[in-house]
Copies of this chain bind each other. A is one copy, B any other.
Amino acid sequence: MRERERKMGRGGKGKACRVNSSGGDTEDRTGIVDGTGDGLISNNTNKKANQGDVDNVYYELWHACAGPLVKVPQAGDLVIYFPQGHMEQVEAYTCQDGKTEMPIYNLPYKILCKVVYVQLKVTLLPEVKQDGPSPEEKVSPVLSQKSSACYHSKKLTPSDTSTHGGFSVPKRLADDCLPHLDMSVEIPQQELVARDLHGFRWSFKHIYRGNPKRHLITSGWSQFLNAKKLNTGDACIFLRGEDGGLHVGIRRLTKQKHTASASVISGSSMQHGILASAFHAVSTGTMFTVYYRPWTSPSAFIVPYDQYMKSTALSYSVGMRFKMTFEGEECQEQKFAGTVVGIEDIDPIRWSGSEWRRLEVQWDAPSETSVRPGRVSPWDIEPTEVSKKKNMPTKNLQKRAPPIYLSSSGHSTAGRDDLLQCPGESTPQRHGVLKGQEERILGVNERGPLRPPMFLVPSPHLDWGRTKTRLEKHMHFPIPDSLNCGPGSILTFSDGKRVGSGISNMCSPPFTSSEFHDGVGASRTLAAPNVNSSNACTQERTVPNAKDETEVPLAQQYGRKITIFGVEVDICKNPLELPSQQVTTFGELPKSCAALPTTSQSSTSIPVQVSESSKSASEGFSENQRKNCCTSAN
C-alpha cells in the first residue's frame, strides 16, 4: 500500500522545480536541520519521514546524480538480458580487451527476465517461457512517480574546490533547497545536515554574509570535497525531499577512462562466471544476480521488453538514417544523427544472430562532448526514416529454432567439447538474421530451491581507539583512516609562490591519478597513549533500511518464476573505475576501495517499490520518474 500511495498519489509531471508551497516558512523545512548536538542551531527534531518517502527521495537523488540517460528498470518490468553486454561491462571493468577465449555455452544470446526488485543490485530470474508474456499477463508498467522534491545542481568552480573558503551557494539553490535563514539577525547562519546516497550525513555551515551578501557553505565543505574527491567541473547536487530532508549528491565530470583491476579472480574467470551463472540460472530456473551499471558500458545490456520488441518490429538496413540520444552538458539530452553502414553479427561464432551491437554506424558530425560508439544495438536508436514495419506479430519473440551446439573453443574450427555439449543437441546453430529472431530455451528440467538473493550490504563495525578528526566533525561517523585525509601537502604553484623544502622532486613518469587511488594518505595512530576513544559516537546511521521484512517475502511471493532486480550500493567501487559516461549514481561512490563487512543491522540498501499498477509505458524504464525537477543552477 505504501507503494500504491507513492505511485498513485502524485500528479504533475514537469521539469520545473516544485517548491513546496506550504513551506515558505522556515519551520516546515527545517526538518532537514538535524540537531547537531552542539546547541548552535537545532531548532527542529529529526522529523523522520515515512519509509516510502525516504525511498522515493533516494530514488530521485539517485537519478539526479545518475543523469538523464541512465535508466534502471523497475520491479515488474520485463527485460531482455544480453550476456554479451554483461561481458562487455566486465571487460570494461577489468581492462580486458575482450580477446579472451571463451567457450560457447549453450546459452541464448538474449534472455527474457522479469524484474522483481530493485536494490542497486540486480538479480534476474530467467522466464521459463522465453516467448514473451501472453496478452493478459502483459507487463503493466508503473505510473510515473511524481514528486515534489526539488533539486539543483551546481558545477563546481575553482573557487568552490579551492582550499581557501567554501562553496558559493547559488541563490536559487539556497532559496529552493535550503532551509530559510533568519534574515533578521546580523549574520544569518545555520547548520545543515544533508544525507548522501549512502545515507551518510554531512553537516555544513550555511551562512549569508559578505559584501554584497551571498549564501555560502563554509565549515564542512572541504571535508565533503575531500571525502568525495571532487574537482572543479564535478557537480554537486542538493535535493530537498518531500519530507523536507536535505540530501547531497555528486556527479563527476570525469570522462576519465576508468580502469580497474578487480583482481579477485582473473578477468577470464569472470567472463566464465557470467556465462556459467546465466546458463545455470536458465537451465535450473533459479535467480541470478547482475551488477548492472548502465553508465558503465557503452550500452545497457538489460533492455526493457517493450523497447526490445519495438526494435524487432522494424527492419534495419544499410543506409538507414537514425538518431540516438546522448548526454550533453548540464544534464541535457542531446541527439546525434547517423547512418547505418553495416549490419552483421559482432560475434558470429558465439552469439550468432544476436542483435547486440549488430548495427555498424557512422555519425554525421564529430562531437567532443560525447564519445559515440561505432556499433549500436537496434534498440539504442530511433530510425528517422519511416521504416516498414515487419509483418510479424510482436508476440513471437521466439520460434522453434535449431539448437545451438556447444564448443568450448571459441574458434571457427568449430571444435566441439563433449564435456560441455548437451546430449542430443548438436545441430549447428543457424545464423540468425535481424528479422524474426528465433531461439529456443533449452530444457529446464530441474530447479533448485529458491533462495532469497544475498544482498551484500555494508554495515558498520567498530573502529575504536582513534581520535576524532576534523572530517568526523562534519560527517557523522568515526571516520576510518583512509577518510581521514586532508588534501595533503601541496607544492604550491598556484599563486606564483612556490613552496618547497628539503627534498626535491625526482623526476616522475606521468601517472594517472587513478593509478594511485590506493596508497592514499591516512591518519596515523597518535603517539600519545591517552587517546580518548570514548568520544567516538555511537548513533546508528539512519540510512533508509533494506526492509528486511520485505525482501524475502517479495522473492517468495513470486516464487520460482519471478525475476529479481536489485541494485547494490556498491560503496566499495572506485568511481574512477566507472567509465567515461560515469555518473555518480548510487555510486557517487567514494573513490577508493572500502572493505565492508556484512554484519547486518544497518544497511544501505535502498529498496524500490514493486510495481503493480497498470498504466503502460511504451518504452524505457519509468523515465518520467526523473523528470520532475531537473533544474540546474549555474
Contacts and interface: CB of A to CB of B under 8 A. Distances in A.
B286 A280 contact: no
Contacts of A210: none
B595 A515 contact: yes
A415 B448 contact: yes
Nearest to A540: B509
Contacts of A184: none
A472 B540 contact: no
Contacts of A528: 158, 493-495
Chain copies in complex: 2
Interface in A538-595: 538-541, 568, 570-577, 589-595
Contact of A259 (B100, B519, B570, B595): B595
A419 interface: yes
Interface string A84-113: 000000100111110111010010000000
Contact of A478 (B447, B459, B508): B508
Interface stretch (A49-57, A270-278, A330-338, A360-368): A270-278
Contacts of A573: 263, 518, 593
A123 to B, nearest CB: 8
A590 B275 CA distance: 32
Given A418-B445, A463-B513, A470-B491, 20 more contacts: A94-B456, A96-B454, A225-B524, A228-B519, A229-B519, A264-B270, A264-B291, A267-B454, A284-B417, A408-B446, A473-B502, A479-B513, A480-B511, A484-B489, A487-B524, A508-B537, A518-B574, A519-B594, A574-B592, A574-B594
Contact of A288 (B123, B269, B595): B269
Given A472-B508, A483-B488, A488-B470, A592 B520 contact: yes
Nearest to A443: B418
Interface stretch (A30-38, A69-77, A320-328, A384-392): A30-38
A614 interface: no
A358 B592 CA distance: 38
Contact of A506 (B193, B219, B492, B520): B193
Interface string A490-520: 1111111000111111111111111111111
Interface stretch (A60-68, A131-139, A142-150, A596-604): A596-604
Given A496-B530, A512-B462, A227 B411 contact: no
Q: Which of A223, A445, A471, A511 has the most CB of B within 10 A?
A: A511
Interface residues of A, number: 193
A506 B448 contact: no
Given A262-B572, A288-B269, A503-B473, A591 B518 contact: yes
Interface stretch (A161-169, A432-440, A605-613): A161-169
Interface stretch (A17-25, A345-353, A420-428, A625-633): A420-428
A514 B595 contact: yes
B474 A503 contact: yes
